[in-house]
């Protein structure tokens, strides 16, 4: 079973009045079911199973159907007496700093509601259908747009339509009881004259309702239009003193593929309007479907892309946004609902579709191989129920590297890749003034070394690159002016020979050394004699700068000394020469790091001394 039995249901958590709490209202079993072709209707008696599937995501309200429709009343009643009497538990997910995190468990019983026309018989029928739910609800609506009123109620004036709405609210409250939920909708609010819409909303706010819903029924409005409506409605709620008692609700159709953005722009408008009035922010209800494209015409807003955009864009809201959804269930729920209707999830569906994680371009695949799926995904899509972070598939434009790595990868962010934000943080933690550094160049250097070594860059290596920049333009204190290298010299089978001359702050010194580990190691020993320095070469990667020739070479060398590890790059006239130059570059960096550390220790000790009581 999906539901978890919980002995006691905790009281409703207290949310910060300066935060917006999101409530998910699912219309799949009502608007979604109504829109299905005859051959793809949900099977008779399946609403309980489908409702359980929907709730498993963390949905707060299920609109289980239209009780006045043939056969719907009993199915809604069955949902009410099962799903509506069960406490569920999920572990909601969120995104912090680009990473998925678990939120505290959510334990709740969903509201089960039915939609009804504003007439006495329909309201009574809706009340019967949901009465066995622990949290029953009635959703009543009237037409407020002129063209809707003239089509549906040609003999009624605006005032009479409004009076019908008020009467329906009062009847719904009487029928559902004081603890039930009454939601009132202004059908086609987005195409309603604003003067009449204000009258309708203010009138409803003066009645005993829990939710005021302002739908874009035609899917015709823009984000700017919806923002204006919700800004105005929030101000009306504040004026009427109902902002902390009533939830404001958004219901958008996706005819112009703007349902998600219309909903999000409405959220911004509500938050901004409340903050401008120094008011608490009302709870915000989003009406959506859990299966893409379901709902009349192009469907109601699809839940998955809405949740994805809210989570990835939370920093753009002027106040905290609280949304509690188990995102890992979104894909499976969509597939389950569509399967029940004999349909399949379109691979091009945003967020949950297969193509969300598929890459057939060599450009994409090469970057994913080097840096993980994050290079072409704003968030790890496994958090939305996908089995892997990315899949490389063959195609006309797939490159060699992609074809060599076809299949799925679980790597989202490669440990080998460091970005500018991470570099700034690590340098700041190392007490560098990042304003004085070329961060981009440090990122390039770090990723080059990291990729070559196939190991993540360390803080000490980042520090070395920063020190190299700070000392750029200043001559290295230690330079190699001459070198003489011989392999297996003096008749000693395993000994190699090096003679090294260094210029140390203008003074020349020469030493000789032998080693059974190669000419570079012999040079390392000779340099150690000159400097009284015992650094070890942990790794060296020389390479020709031009194909087929090592007369011009580069080398990346990793040097360890007294617990400090530094990586340096240099060039030379041969592979060995470049390696020795890189070793000396690392020695210079280590000496500078030692100088810097001693300076920082001195500064801290002086600060501590002047802060002591002796100087007070």
Q: Is the pLDDT of residue 4 over 50?
A: no
Half-sphere exposure for 205 (CA within 13 Å, toward CB): 23
Q: Which of 203-212, 257-266, 390-399, 459-468 has the lowest average pLDDT?
A: 459-468
Would you state the pLDDT for residue 1? 32
pLDDT per position as a tens digit, 567-582: 777 888 889 999 999 8
Is 26 within 8 Å of 303 (Cβ atoms)?
Answer: yes
Q: Is the pLDDT of residue 9 over 50?
A: no
Same fold, 20-34+56-340 and 478-602: no
pLDDT per position as a tens digit, 266-285: 999 999 999 999 999 999 99
Q: Which of 3-17, 324-338, 429-443 has the lowest average pLDDT?
A: 3-17
Position 16 confidence tier, pLDDT thresholds 50, 70, 90: low
Would you state the pLDDT for residue 328? 98
Q: Is the pLDDT of residue 607 over 60?
A: no
Q: Which residue has the higher pLDDT, 612 or 399?
A: 399
- DSSP structural state of residue 534: -
Q: Is the pLDDT of residue 40 over 90?
A: yes
Would you state the pLDDT for residue 489? 52
pLDDT per position as a tens digit, 68-117: 988 899 999 999 999 999 999 999 999 998 899 999 999 999 999 999 99
Would you state the pLDDT for residue 547? 58
- Please compute the mean of the pLDDT values over residues 208-234 and round it to a whole number: 97
pLDDT per position as a tens digit, 452-507: 777 888 887 788 788 778 766 556 788 898 999 988 755 555 688 999 999 988 88
CA distance 445 to 17: 47
- Please compute the mean of the pLDDT values over residues 222-235 and round it to a whole number: 98
- Please state the separation of Cα 10 from the chain's center in Å: 29
Q: Which of 151-160, 539-548, 600-609 has the lowest average pLDDT?
A: 600-609
Would you state the pLDDT for residue 609? 44
Half-sphere exposure for 121 (CA within 13 Å, toward CB): 2
Would you state the pLDDT for residue 93? 97
Would you state the pLDDT for residue 28? 98
What rounded mean pLDDT belongs to the chain?
Answer: 89
**Percentage of the chain modeled with pLDDT above 70:** 90
Q: Which of 11-20, 139-148, 320-329 has the lowest average pLDDT?
A: 11-20
- Please compute the mean of the pLDDT values over residues 290-302 and round it to a whole number: 96
- Note the CATH number of domain 478-602: 3.30.160.270
- Please compute the mean of the pLDDT values over residues 412-426 and round it to a whole number: 91
- Please compute the mean of the pLDDT values over residues 25-36 and round it to a whole number: 95
Q: Is the pLDDT of residue 229 over 90?
A: yes
Q: Is the pLDDT of residue 435 over 50?
A: yes
- Whether the CA torsion 483, 487, 488, 490 is positive or negative: it is negative
Position 523 confidence tier, pLDDT thresholds 50, 70, 90: very high
Q: Is the pLDDT of residue 604 over 60?
A: no
Position 550 confidence tier, pLDDT thresholds 50, 70, 90: low
CA distance 197 to 286: 20
Q: Does domain 20-34+56-340 match CATH 3.90.1150.110?
A: no
- Please compute the mean of the pLDDT values over residues 527-545 and round it to a whole number: 86
Taking alpha carbons only, the member of 336, 303, 306, 291 closest to residue 35 is 291
Going from N- to C-terminal start, the domains of the chain cover 20-34+56-340, 354-409, 420-470, 478-602
Q: Which of 169-178, 194-203, 250-259, 598-607 has the lowest average pLDDT?
A: 598-607
pLDDT per position as a tens digit, 132-145: 999 999 999 999 99
- Whether the CA torsion 209, 213, 214, 215 is positive or negative: it is negative
Q: Is the pLDDT of residue 21 over 80?
A: yes
Half-sphere exposure for 239 (CA within 13 Å, toward CB): 13
Q: Is the pLDDT of residue 616 over 60?
A: no
**Percentage of the chain modeled with pLDDT above 90:** 71
Taking alpha carbons only, the member of 113, 133, 78 closest to residue 211 is 113
- Please compute the mean of the pLDDT values over residues 145-156 and round it to a whole number: 94
Q: Which of 156-160, 320-324, 469-473, 553-557 has the lowest average pLDDT?
A: 469-473
Q: Is the pLDDT of residue 610 over 70?
A: no
What does the buried/exposed string (b/e) look like for 267-298 if buried means 16 or more CB atoms within 10 Å of the residue's CB? bbbbbbbbeeeebbbbbbbbbbbbbbbbbeeb
Would you state the pLDDT for residue 572? 87
- Please compute the mean of the pLDDT values over residues 237-258 and round it to a whole number: 97
List the alpha helices (DSSP H) in 179-288: 194-205, 223-239, 259-276
Q: Which of 222-236, 354-368, 415-429 has the lowest average pLDDT?
A: 415-429
């Amino acid at each position: 079973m999906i539901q978890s039995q919980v002995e006691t249901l905790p009281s409703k958590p207290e949310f910060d009045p300066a935060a917006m709490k999101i409530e998910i209202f699912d219309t799949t079993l009502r608007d979604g079911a109504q829109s299905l072709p005859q051959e793809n209707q949900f099977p008779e008696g399946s609403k309980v199973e489908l409702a359980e599937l929907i709730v498993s995501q963390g949905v707060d309200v299920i609109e289980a159907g239209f009780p006045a429709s043939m056969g719907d009343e009993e199915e809604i009643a069955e949902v009410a007496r099962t799903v509506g009497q069960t406490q569920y538990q999920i572990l909601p997910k969120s995104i912090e700093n680009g990473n998925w995190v678990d939120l505290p468990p959510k334990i709740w019983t969903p509201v089960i509601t039915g939609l009804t026309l504003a007439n006495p018989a329909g309201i009574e029928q809706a009340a019967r259908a949901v009465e066995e739910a622990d949290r029953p609800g009635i959703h009543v609506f009237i037409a407020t747009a002129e063209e809707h009123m003239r089509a549906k109620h040609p003999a009624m004036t605006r005032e009479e339509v409004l009076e019908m709405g008020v009467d329906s609210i009062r009847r719904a409250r009487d029928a559902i009881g004081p603890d039930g939920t009454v939601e009132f909708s202004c059908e086609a609010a987005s195409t309603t004259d604003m003067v009449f819409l204000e009258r309708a909303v203010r009138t409803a706010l003066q009645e005993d309702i829990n939710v005021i819903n302002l739908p874009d029924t035609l899917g015709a409005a823009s984000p700017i239009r919806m923002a204006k409506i919700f800004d105005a409605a929030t101000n009306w709620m504040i004026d009427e003193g109902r902002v902390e008692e009533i939830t404001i609700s958004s219901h958008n159709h996706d005819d112009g593929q703007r349902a998600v953005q219309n909903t999000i722009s409405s959220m911004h408008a509500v938050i901004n309007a409340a903050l401008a009035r120094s008011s608490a922010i009302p709870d915000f209800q989003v009406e959506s479907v859990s299966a893409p494209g379901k709902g009349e015409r192009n469907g109601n807003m699809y839940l998955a892309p809405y949740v994805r955009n809210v989570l990835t864009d939370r920093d753009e809201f002027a106040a905290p946004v609280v949304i509690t959804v188990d995102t890992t269930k979104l894909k499976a729920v969509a597939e389950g609902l569509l399967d029940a209707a004999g349909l399949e999830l379109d691979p091009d569906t945003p967020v949950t579709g297969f193509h969300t994680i598929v890459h057939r371009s060599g450009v994409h695949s090469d970057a994913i191989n080097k840096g993980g799926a994050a290079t072409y995904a704003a968030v790890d899509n496994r958090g939305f129920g996908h089995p892997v972070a990315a899949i490389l598939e063959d195609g006309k434009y797939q490159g060699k590297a992609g074809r060599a790595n076809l299949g799925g990868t679980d790597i989202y962010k490669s440990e080998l890749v460091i970005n500018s934000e991470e570099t700034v943080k690590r340098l700041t933690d190392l007490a560098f003034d990042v304003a004085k550094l070329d961060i981009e160049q440090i990122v390039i250097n770090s990723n080059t070394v990291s990729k070559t070594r196939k190991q993540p860059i360390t803080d000490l290596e980042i520090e070395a690159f920063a020190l190299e920049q700070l000392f750029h333009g200043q001559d290295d204190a230690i330079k190699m002016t001459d070198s003489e290298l011989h392999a297996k010299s003096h008749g000693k089978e395993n000994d190699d020979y090096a003679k090294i001359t260094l210029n140390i702050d203008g003074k020349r010194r020469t030493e000789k050394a032998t080693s059974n580990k190669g000419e570079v190691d012999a040079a390392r020993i000779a340099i150690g004699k000159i400097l009284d320095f015992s650094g070890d070469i942990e790794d060296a990667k020389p390479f020709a700068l031009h194909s087929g020739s090592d007369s011009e070479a580069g080398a990346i060398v990793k040097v360890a000394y007294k617990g400090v590890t530094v990586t340096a790059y240099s060039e030379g006239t041969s592979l060995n020469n470049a390696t020795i130059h890189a070793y000396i570059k690392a020695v210079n960096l280590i000496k500078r790091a030692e100088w810097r550390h001693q300076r920082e220790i001195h500064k801290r000790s002086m600060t501590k001394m002047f802060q002591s009581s002796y100087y007070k």
